[in-house]
Amino acid sequence: MDMPIPSAEILSRRADHIAALKSVVPADRVIEDVIGLRAYECDALTAYRCTPLAVVLPCNTEEVAAVLKLCHDRGIPVVPRGAGTSLAGGSLPTADAVVVGVARLTDVLEVDYDDRIMRIQTGRTNLSVTAAIEEDGWFYAPDPSSQLACAISGNIGMNSGGAHCLKYGVTVNNLLGLRMVLMDGTIIDLGGAHMDAGDIDLLPVVCGAEGQLGIVTEATLRILPKPEGARPVMVAFGSSAVAGACVSDTIQAGIVPVAIEFMDRPCIEACEAFAKAGYPDCEALLIIEVEGSDREIDHQLALIREIAERHNPDEIRESRSADESARIWLGRKSAFGAMGQINDYMCLDGTIPVSELPYVLERIGELSKEYGLGVANVFHAGDGNMHPLILFDANKPGDLERCEAMGADILRLCIEVGGCLTGEHGVGIEKRDLMHAQFNAQDLEAQMIVKDVFDPKWLLNAAKVFPLDASEARRA
């Protein structure tokens, strides 16, 4: 993975830059020792690492502003960091960059159930946002798999989704306002506790810009009352294609489940071996969850059963209790851990039109044979967000490269059928150079224009998202 060559000039003045950082924020905010910096050399894309120039962990928005202004004036690149859980290398530093982390900004600033909003500092983890309100019967809807660890700042950066976004939408649909610091230190507010904007609305482009437009320190979130209950049904099929058709029919029948999860045989077998959830022996499996009162759930599950039966399922297992629900979810929730136990794997994130599911699964199977690498599929079927896990052996020379080549082929396939490279993980460095496959030069130019406006010197997380050859002239 290419990264820009660090500036020798910045590296040679490291001591001076660190002293300057300590002059604008209290010294204990700055990490400069080799051991301390090691924790920041990568995120959850651990294949790529680089020790940054320094790390700053500010304690408020004004400190973030002071650090950015200093870096801006000195021409030092900045890499923003939430909890460091990016699977795409979103917070991978360069050697000449200062990492600015929001880990110390974790306060809940305001909760208002009457107005159905919550204001937080963005270093707070996703799960602890809901944790602060769930005893009162409320929740924050986006629920990425990493929700125990990931920070809201990163959720905003990547516009994160989760299993339940079929019904509740992704981050951008649940974000009402934010406070952010631009690279030159300017602090701005977008949106607030009200809905939408009166004119051009910048908020939806900041959400999902992978930390390239500014560092978001506070967010106003839409919160929702918890449903009375939720229960899943598990349906086993003899082929992935039939499972795909069942997904489409369910949606078309007017049922909008809160989640539709899909697993194929390799994944089911791995989960069985790992979690012993008692899953049926089948080619493909759907877990469909619906919400409401008991009676409402019964009714929706009956409708789903009726649709599923038209597709001759191997088995239908309806949950009738919390315990049965937990057993149905057990395998799915341990899928990534289970796969990790048997192999190294690379998790892809392409999204496709739901109607293309059978074809894409078939093609992935063929690619798997061609490359001689196993693939397990586990994903959010309702919205077409695929997560093929390509299995490889990191200790075997050439395996990682083959795995990356196969991953690129799968992502090109997603684009070919009308989909996209990434549904919720973001581009980062991982998919940066594949952007040419989805966008032409004009499309990319129209996006980079936005960065020109927010960060004219291209100092903020600049080596991400856009192919290096496309952004080169601007970064120079």
Residues 365-394 touching other proteins, rule: CB under 8 A, are 380, 382-385
Q: Reduce the DSSP state of residue 187 to 3 states and report it.
A: strand
Nearer to other proteins (CB atom), residue 60 or residue 173? 173
- Class of residue 252 by CB neighbours under 10 A (exposed 0-12, middle 13-18, buried 19+): exposed
Task: Verify binding: residue 166, other proteins, rule CB under 8 A.
Answer: yes
Sorted by sequence, the CB contacts under 8 Å of residue 335 that are 6+ apart come out as 263, 267, 270, 271, 376, 378
Measured distance between the N- and C-terminal CA atoms of the chain, rounded to whole angstroms: 19
Sorted by sequence, the CB contacts under 8 Å of residue 422 that are 6+ apart come out as 88, 349, 350, 351, 431
Cβ of residue 442: shortest distance to other proteins, in angstroms? Answer: 5
Task: Verify binding: residue 248, other proteins, rule CB under 8 A.
Answer: yes
The tokens for 104 are 């110390």
Task: Verify binding: residue 50, other proteins, rule CB under 8 A.
Answer: no
Strand-pairing partners, residue 139, are 224
Q: Among 135, 199, 323, 366, indicate the residue that binds other proteins (CB under 8 A).
A: 199
The tokens for 391 are 């299995």
Nearer to other proteins (CB atom), residue 190 or residue 263? 190
The tokens for 342 are 């048997």
Nearer to other proteins (CB atom), residue 21 or residue 85? 85
Task: Verify binding: residue 443, other proteins, rule CB under 8 A.
Answer: yes
Q: Judge contact between 96 and 6, C-beta under 8 A.
A: yes
Q: Among 61, 122, 126, 300, indicate the residue that binds other proteins (CB under 8 A).
A: 300
Q: Among 38, 194, 310, 320, indicate the residue that binds other proteins (CB under 8 A).
A: 194
Helical spans, DSSP H, in 117-217 = 126-131, 152-158, 165-168, 203-206
Per CB under 8 A, which of residues 209..238 are in contact with other proteins? Answer: 209, 225-228
Task: Verify binding: residue 142, other proteins, rule CB under 8 A.
Answer: no
Q: Among 161, 257, 266, 388, indicate the residue that binds other proteins (CB under 8 A).
A: 161
| Alpha-carbon gap, residue 332 to 344, rounded angstroms | 18
Strand-pairing partners, residue 98, are 54, 78
The tokens for 360 are 């894409």
| Alpha-carbon gap, residue 243 to 264, rounded angstroms | 10
The binding track of 254-293 with respect to other proteins, each residue x by CB under 8 A or -, is: xxx-----------------------------------xx
Q: Among 95, 98, 165, 406, indicate the residue that binds other proteins (CB under 8 A).
A: 165
| Alpha-carbon gap, residue 471 to 476, rounded angstroms | 9
> Sheet harboring 388-392: ordered strands across?
315-318, 230-237, 284-291, 259-264, 375-380, 388-392, 344-347
Nearer to other proteins (CB atom), residue 266 or residue 423? 423
Q: Among 202, 221, 287, 346, indicate the residue that binds other proteins (CB under 8 A).
A: 202
Task: Verify binding: residue 418, other proteins, rule CB under 8 A.
Answer: yes
Per CB under 8 A, which of residues 86..125 are in contact with other proteins? Answer: 112-117
Cβ of residue 448: shortest distance to other proteins, in angstroms? Answer: 8
Per CB under 8 A, which of residues 314..333 are in contact with other proteins? Answer: none
Task: Verify binding: residue 201, other proteins, rule CB under 8 A.
Answer: yes
Cβ of residue 88: shortest distance to other proteins, in angstroms? Answer: 9
Beta strands in 152-247 (DSSP E): 175-181, 187-191, 215-222, 224-225, 230-237
Cβ of residue 79: shortest distance to other proteins, in angstroms? Answer: 18
Nearer to other proteins (CB atom), residue 114 or residue 323? 114
Task: Verify binding: residue 159, other proteins, rule CB under 8 A.
Answer: yes
Q: How far is CA 443 from CA 141, 417, 437, 446, 472, in A?
A: 31, 19, 11, 5, 16
Task: Verify binding: residue 447, other proteins, rule CB under 8 A.
Answer: yes
Q: Among 41, 62, 272, 296, indicate the residue that binds other proteins (CB under 8 A).
A: 296
What is the DSSP secondary-structure string of 415-426? HHTT-BS-SSS-
Q: Among 325, 351, 377, 471, indicate the residue that binds other proteins (CB under 8 A).
A: 351
Nearer to other proteins (CB atom), residue 106 or residue 186? 186
Nearer to other proteins (CB atom), residue 36 or residue 418? 418
Total binding residues toward other proteins, as defined by CB under 8 A: 95
Q: Reduce the DSSP state of residue 410 to 3 states and report it.
A: helix
Task: Verify binding: residue 469, other proteins, rule CB under 8 A.
Answer: no
